[in-house]
Structure 1
């Protein structure tokens, strides 16, 4: 079986399933396809948003480092310490820079 034959067979099964769903719901095939596309897009955006939220740190001010002008920050999510020379939070998570135990 070639790749083209496989694709044709798979698309035939998918088309049959969509037509059956449309008949069962009593709607047009285009509405079923539009709803399926909307569900796939919504799921993609939800997964992307959750992944993005996990990579962002929530920085809390930890004070000044003694004897320097560095501002100390502590991530509330992962507990990593970071320092900046301004009053702004660090731009990147420093989790990957943690020393790794042996």
Structure 2
């Protein structure tokens, strides 16, 4: 998998996607909401239960895979242009219109 990891880890949005890709399938499977996470012990217990459940593990893996791949390219690799970035690319607004 040719992914520009250096740029992705510099992007806060990517981190938010990864957290959601892991946490949300777990919360959904166990029928929990953010409000149910009231202590570090309860979060730890939930993660242990999640890792022991193959359905949850597969759901998390699929969710992470979906967050990793770039739907604008074919396959799972980043485009050649994206591989050349040193920092996350910022679009320049088109001021000509």
Taking structure 2 as the reference length, what is the TM-score of the superposition? 0.29
Greater RCO, CA 8 A, separation 6+: 2
Larger-Rg structure: 1
Q: Which of the pair is proportionally richer in helix?
A: 2
Taking structure 1 as the reference length, what is the TM-score of the superposition? 0.28
